[in-house]
Chain A
Amino acid sequence: MSGAHATQHPRLQHHFDNLDQQFEASALGMWLFLVTEILFFGGLFTAYMIYRLAYPQAFAEASHELDVVLGGVNTAVLISSSLTMAMAVWAAQMGKRSSQLLFLGLTILLGLAFLGVKAVEYAAKFEHHLVPGPDFRFEGARDPVHAQLFFSLYFVMTGLHALHMVIGIGLMAVLFVMAARGRFTKAYHTPVEVSGLYWHFVDIVWIFLFPLLYLIDRHGPVH
């Protein structure tokens, strides 16, 4: 392989045979991390499942306090950001630098839009005393004590998700700078692909959070 070494790609680490093998190792590493993330969020989803089975009434009334329109808009925003992320990877694979910058920029903007809507929703919950704690008041609720459980899970789950979004936006900003400096080529764009995996994972968490938190028994009048 000494002949090949002379013309080796600068991004290829010496312990890999070729760029394909190096890419597969990186993608697999990210997937292993995501598996730990699945179980990390999985613990919260398990807690949600048990408490919702135990107190379905309280969960339904508390869920109706969430804004379906804002939640739905945010779902659309996040799905769109997954599309722009996928397109950023596509642009990297095609070696199109300007489209790559465009799609990474759009992904960042959509991520920020999501967090903005989330901030509006959180502010409304504080205003309406729906944050668990001594100030919690849920007028007209049949089971306000266990409604607090719902809101605890709501804030922890969406808060942890939002933290992942903040980290994701940070990753996108780094990719944007790297792309602007021409660090990615057709042959090497592993950071874009691997960060894309993370971004899509965060989207998937929201795909479950939206119906489970916002859409419980929307048909029936609970009160």
Chain B
Amino acid sequence: MEPRGFSPGDDTKAAMTDHAAAAVNGEYMQEASHLVPIRVYLTIFSLLMVLTAVTVGVSFLDLGPLNTVVAIVIAVTKMMLVVLYFMHVRYSSRLTWAVVAGGFFWLALLLFMTLGDYLTRGPGWLRYG
């Protein structure tokens, strides 16, 4: 019984049967779950370790307000490496991309709109130094 409005040709039918048979025999590998080579994981791991050392090192240098900026830029870079490679988003569907991007967009709204409120409450509210 074919689903309504969908009538695959003979090739597709044959492919589906092969697909199911291969799945049962354990030969078939999920295409949606992307196989990343080990050397990619090791490279990402090394980069994450180096960036951790850099962020610790930089915090002991006096860069003024740039200290915080550098710390956040490094953390965001590390996050991107984890999300794209360890979490396979680089190899995922556009739908996954949209959901992930949407999550971070909403986080940005939360942070920046709150910041916009507090930073515009006039002098004296935030005590610098």
Contacts and interface: CB of A to CB of B under 8 A. Distances in A.
Contact of A20 (B21, B24, B32, B78): B32
Interface string B79-98: 10011011110001101100
A-side interface mostly: helix
Nearest to B29: A186
Contacts, number: 197
B123 interface: no
A93 B29 CA distance: 7
Interface in B80-129: 82-83, 85-88, 92-93, 95-96, 99-100, 102-104, 106-107, 110-111, 114-115, 118-119, 125-129
B106 A39 contact: yes
Contacts of B114: 46, 49-50
Nearest to B16: A4
Q: Which size bracket describes the interface of B in this complex? A: 35 or more
A76 B20 contact: no
Contact of A54 (B41, B42, B110, B127): B127
B-side interface mostly: helix
Contacts of A86: 36, 41, 85-86
Given A54-B127, A187-B29, A31 B96 contact: yes
A28 B106 CA distance: 17
Nearest to B125: A54
Interface of A: 1-4, 7-10, 12, 18-21, 23-24, 27-28, 31-32, 34-35, 38-39, 42-43, 45-46, 49-50, 53-57, 68, 72, 75-76, 79-80, 82-83, 85-87, 89-90, 93-95, 185-190, 193, 196-197, 200-201, 203-204, 207-208, 210-212, 215-220
Given A27-B32, A54-B126, A196-B87, 20 more contacts: A1-B2, A1-B16, A2-B1, A4-B20, A20-B32, A27-B33, A28-B96, A53-B118, A56-B129, A76-B52, A82-B82, A82-B86, A83-B41, A90-B35, A185-B26, A186-B27, A187-B26, A189-B33, A204-B83, A210-B55
